[in-house]
Amino acid sequence: MTGKVFLVGAGPGDPELITVKGMRYLQQADVILYDRLVNPELLDFAKPDAQLVYCGKLPHYHTMKQETINHFLVKYAKKGLNVVRLKGGDPFVFGRGSEEAEECAKNDVPYEIIPGITAGIAAPAYAGIPVTHRTLSKSFAFITGHQAGDREAEHQWQHLAQAVDTICVYMGVSHLPDICRNLMQHGKSPDTPIALVHWGTLSDQQTVAGTLSDIEEKVKKSGISNPSMIIIGEVVKLHHNLNWFKEEVAPHLPAVHG
């Protein structure tokens, strides 16, 4: 009898931001394949006999290749086990969840998608930066920083610079100079506000704000690195007034139990 695969979004870092449904499946799983950016506190909710498999990836270094992860999902499910693929943020936002779902479909393995809160919305929110605002931003885009060095993606910068109010960049710290340069070359003012939120939603969150023309120097001085979300647009100006998380860490709530 075939089991089932659950592609679960763990949220942006704070373990209490996982969905109720995601938590329920996590507690019932026979096998949990989890990523590097998944808060390890979530694994405390696993069954005592659940098998935990680390699938973490670092920049330029993959602990487990995607093809191997796909193979394990199918392998465990074919044994009749319920498998949770626990992914940071949302499975379908730069998380390769679609590739894993395709593998399940190809092998006739039942699967379910449990969305999660993505860092592109949560990290800015915890820094007091809304991705939309009635007067400042009526549109936003999620992009990956890797495209900053991709020549085939160069044509996209003109559209991003001229047609989108707020840009949220994942995995972009190492490409920050290229991101700023591309946006300014295609029409964004050097004074356009930009912020980097490091370890968003966690107690050691750090935010650095500036403009396209000076953010690189500010980031160097701060020592900020990955994982960080980059937010570009006029909404960043609201950070100084709405920075609710900076002065008082959110109180710890009781753990969620099923």
Q: Which residues, 6 or more positions from 147, have their beta carbon under 8 angstroms from its beta carbon?
A: 153, 156
Angle between helices 215-222 and 176-185 (to 10 degrees): 170
In contact, 25 and 86? CB cutoff 8 Å = no
Q: Residue 166: how many CB atoms within 10 A of its CB?
A: 24
For the question of residue 191 being annotated catalytic, the response is: no
Catalytic residue chosen out of the listed positions 14, 30, 35, 90? 35
- In whole angstroms, give the CA distance from residue 174 to residue 149: 10
For the question of residue 64 being annotated catalytic, the response is: no
Catalytic residue chosen out of the listed positions 14, 23, 30, 171? 171
Catalytic residue chosen out of the listed positions 57, 75, 218, 237? 57
For the question of residue 171 being annotated catalytic, the response is: yes
Give the pLDDT of residue 59: 59
Q: Mean pLDDT per segment of 10 residues, for the chain of length 258 residues?
A: 95 97 98 95 98 80 84 97 98 95 98 98 98 97 78 76 96 94 95 97 95 97 93 97 71 41
Give the pLDDT of residue 249: 45
Q: Residue 19: how many CB atoms within 10 A of its CB?
A: 17
Give the pLDDT of residue 247: 38
- In whole angstroms, give the CA distance from residue 57 to residue 227: 12
In contact, 41 and 15? CB cutoff 8 Å = yes
Mind listing the pLDDT tens digit for each residue in 195-250? 999 999 999 999 999 999 999 999 999 999 889 999 999 999 999 999 999 634 44
SS3 letters for 12-59?
Answer: CCCHHHCCHHHHHHHHHCCEEEECCCCCHHHHHHCCCCCEEEECCEEC
Among 226, 28, 200, which residue's Cα sits nearest to residue 125? 200
Give the pLDDT of residue 246: 65
